Amino acid sequence: MASSLTKSSTGTPGSEKTFFGHPRGLATLFMTEMWERFSYYGMRALLVYYLVSGGADAAAGSQGGGLAMKAATATAIYSVYVSMVYLMAMPGGWFGDRVWGARKTVTIAGFVIIAGHLSLALPGQAMFFVGLALVAAGSGMLKANISTMVGHLYDGPDDERRDGGFTLFYIGVNLGAFIAPFVVGTVGKEVNWHLGFALAAMGMALGLVQFLIGTRNLSAQSDIVPNPLSPAERKAVLTKVALVVVVVAAFYGVVVAMGAFTLNWAMVPLTLIGLLIPVAVLVRIKRDKDLSPTEQTKMSGYIWFFVAAAVFWMIYDQGGSTLSLFADSKTADTVFGLGFSATWYQSLNPLFVMALAPVFAWLWLWLARKNQEPNTIVKFSMALVLVGASFFVFIVPMNMAGDGTKVSPMWLVSIYMIQTIGELCLSPVGLSVTTKMAPKKYASQMMGVWFLAVTAGDCTTGLLSLAGVDLNGTGIIALQASLAVLAGFAIYMYRRKVQTLMGSVH
């Protein structure tokens, strides 16, 4: 990678060198995001296994020392945790825009993430939940601001290098996610849980150190607070936050004092908050009288895409819970006589993304030249049908493993590949359509709204688990698959109506 840093006359921020022809600062942000994703996905690969370890739902012969929870509880915690990471992207963006600026927010987020992983590295249920909360908050803050800093490196939206820069950045995301399960996952699951969590902290620490060293190569714009709080606004915010903290602390203090506190007292409110906030945000935007009739109509069309994305992520994100539990207990752990950790399955998605994303980019361009490229609505329909089909495929190995047979790893490889193809039909397109359909007043906030679809989908999964629904059963898997496929066909059947609502956006 060092050999790609060559002299350039483009005058990039802080240096005359470039990173694959892009501003040198992109290398700093690339490595920061790679190491942050390394820490996040490494920890995520361990999460469900650590929760069930030592309990009845753990795989036979697995390492003990975990929290010995039931599979349903582990799935709920995993789902709520992932949903909170994406929910925290909105306040994270707010801190970057109104309090600290993007660069300072990313720096603070890095320290928060490290503290979270170190908390996870300590034994005990209390430190585990403290660690999860810190990692979720830090990841949300970092996620919301680091992409903004990538944009700051370029000379406005018309800079011809901009799209390529974000593509390189996206490779960093997936590279970190790909490596993490092999390192953090293997050490944590097969050697010692807390050592694995500590390795995740080390990964984020490496990312933060190189970010601080390379900060001179970033744009000065990343230091600016675009819309700083006035003294009156700052006082009002602090008062509201203090009031909420006091009320929540008093309420839970009473619950604990009465001896009534259980995990559900924390999980159910978080799940409901994760479901209600996306709805409230969409309703607030939709009812804003400042929006023009055209913007109102586009928001009505956007809600179709939001709901579709929520259904998609509800199934897709079970790759780290439902599929992970199946991989550990009912899937063979050898290929050609070579053993491997069940955490390695979490590397399949980033591997397939890196391999297939260029193929899909070429395919859409090729079809566009022939005037045959599917529009956004059709791509969303394809994504829903594919993610539903992946769960229909999942039913086959589930039935095969019913008598205790260990199924071939290729079943899960196929399922993850189908889901990744669906992701490539939905995720990049969803980001694009969000920017195109966003009302001008909410242009900077709508990306956070898009991430709320992940929150809504994962909180639905969490709520089902908390309600006692066995998401690891064949019946519920078939029901979710049917829901996704039917949603895909519904959007396709109503595509003309949705296209009318989209107006000039295609």
Give the mean model confidence (pLDDT) for residues 201-215.
94
Please tell me the distance from the alpha carbon of residue 117 to that of residue 201, in angstroms, as a whole number: 5
E strand intervals along 334-408 = 334-335, 338-339
The per-residue pLDDT for range 282-323, each reduced to its tens digit, is 999 888 888 888 889 989 999 999 999 999 999 999 999 999
Supply the pLDDT for residue 12.
43
The per-residue pLDDT for range 116-175, each reduced to its tens digit, is 999 999 988 889 999 999 999 999 899 878 888 888 888 866 677 776 787 788 888 899
Supply the pLDDT for residue 160.
74
Given a cut of 50, whether residue 442 has pLDDT beyond it is: yes
Supply the pLDDT for residue 190.
92
Q: Which of 473, 446, 434, 393 has its CA nearest to residue 308?
A: 434
Going by pLDDT thresholds of 50, 70 and 90, the confidence category of residue 343 is very high
Given a cut of 90, whether residue 432 has pLDDT beyond it is: no
Please tell me the distance from the alpha carbon of residue 402 to that of residue 405, in angstroms, as a whole number: 7
Of residues 185 and 365, more confidence is placed in 185
Supply the pLDDT for residue 62.
63
The model's pTM? 0.89
- Residue 90 in tokens: 């909105």
Supply the pLDDT for residue 2.
37
Cβ pair 80, 271 in contact under 8 A: yes
Cβ pair 395, 481 in contact under 8 A: yes
Supply the pLDDT for residue 63.
66
Give the mean model confidence (pLDDT) for residues 259-287.
89
The per-residue pLDDT for range 6-61, each reduced to its tens digit, is 434 344 444 457 777 888 898 999 999 999 999 999 998 999 999 998 766 666 55
The single residue listed with the structure tokens 């030249």 is 369
Given a cut of 50, whether residue 3 has pLDDT beyond it is: no
> pLDDT > 90: what percent of the chain?
56
- 3-state SS, 79-145, equals HHHHHHHHHCHHHHHHHHHHCCCHHHHHHHHHHHHHHHHHHHCCCCHHHHHHHHHHHHHHHHHHHHH
